[in-house]
Amino acid sequence: MKINTPELPSARGEGPAKVALVEDKAGVRENWVKLINSLPGFSCVTFCASGEDALRLLPPLAPDIVLMDIFLPRMSGIECTGRLKTLLPNTQILILTGVEDDELVFMALKAGADGYLLKRTKPEDLRAAMVNVLNGGAPMTSEIARLVVQSFRMSSRLAKPAVRLSVREEEVLILLSKGYSNKEIAAQLSIGVETISSHLKHIYKKLHVRSRAEAVARYMTRSGADHPTEPRP
């Protein structure tokens, strides 16, 4: 059986993909640099011993991939990832660590990491992961992927039952969150003002609130919004 070797995206450009390594331990760093340079299609263009060095050295180089250790002196790899993503939004950052910890995984992903690998990842799997991330994937070692799945299952079991609003009630609540009056909502939805009042009563009851402000606040929480609603036209 023929095994297909993952290929780098053709649109990426000529030459090997540029990889930067952020690792504080000199011996580990040397071994990873040699490994990266041995992988077809990849070249380690620089390495950094700290997050501060990474923030200073990497932006001018704009590497295609950064392999980031988590436990760095002073600034953690997770904090460095978040700050680097702001400076280099097109650079793919893969966390590379020896620790299996679901909290660290989610902290890194929330910070902007594009994948999460264990340091014991085999060379061929490392190359496949780097090709994968350049092709738009989010590579994770199987152990990390299992942690993610287990965490989602746990969150699902612990989650409170969802409030079930009708489609019309959702529409009313969305317009309410944008600052529309009852009359304006009625005009937008082509229904009577009395009907809007009835929908609002049902919404208040389902959300366990007593006012428009409370309803809007609850809607913002349910929708995961963390910013003010857009001004209405």
Band the pLDDT of 226: cuts 50, 70, 90.
very low
Asked whether residue 63 is domain-assigned, the answer is yes
- In this structure, the answer to whether residues 102 and 131 fall within a common structural domain is yes
Say whether pLDDT at 89 is over 50.
Answer: yes
CATH number of the CATH domain containing 52? 3.40.50.2300
pLDDT of residue 110: 80
- CB contact set of 17 (below 8 Å; sequence gap of 6+): 8, 41, 42, 43, 64, 65, 130, 134
Residues 125 and 177 in one domain: no
pLDDT confidence band for 112 (50 / 70 / 90): confident
Final residue before a domain boundary, out of 111, 126, 156: 156
pLDDT at position 98 is 83
d(CA 35, CA 134) in angstroms, rounded, equals 18
The verdict on 150 and 195 lying in the same domain is: no
Query: Which of 156, 185, 214 corresponds to the end of one domain?
Result: 156
Average pLDDT of the chain is 81
pLDDT in tens, 165-180: 888 888 888 887 777 7
Show the domain range for 144.
15-156
pLDDT at 12 over 60: no
- Using only C-alpha atoms, what is the Rg of the chain? 24
| Last-in-domain residue among 133, 156, 179 | 156
Three-state secondary structure string covering the chain = CCCCCCCCCHHHCCCCEEEEEECCCHHHHHHHHHHHHHCCCEEEEEEECCHHHHHHHHHHHCCCEEEECCCCCCCCHHHHHHHHHHHCCCCEEEEEECCCCHHHHHHHHHHCCCEEEECCCCHHHHHHHHHHHHCCCCCECHHHHHHHHHHHHHHHHHCCCCCCCCHHHHHHHHHHHCCCCHHHHHHHHCCCHHHHHHHHHHHHHHHCCCCHHHHHHHHHHHHCCCCCCCCCC
Say whether pLDDT at 135 is over 80.
yes
Tally of structural domains, the chain: 2
pLDDT digits over 150-163, tens only? 665 665 554 455 67
* pLDDT given for residue 225 in this prediction: 41
Instruction: Identify the pLDDT of residue 228.
Output: 37
Residue 171 and residue 146 in one domain: no
Region 27-39: mean pLDDT is: 95
What integer pLDDT is reported at residue 199 of this predicted model? Answer: 92
Mean pLDDT score, 85-90: 94
Rounded Cα gap, residues 225 and 51, in angstroms = 30
Q: How far apart are CA 43 and CA 164, in angstroms?
A: 53
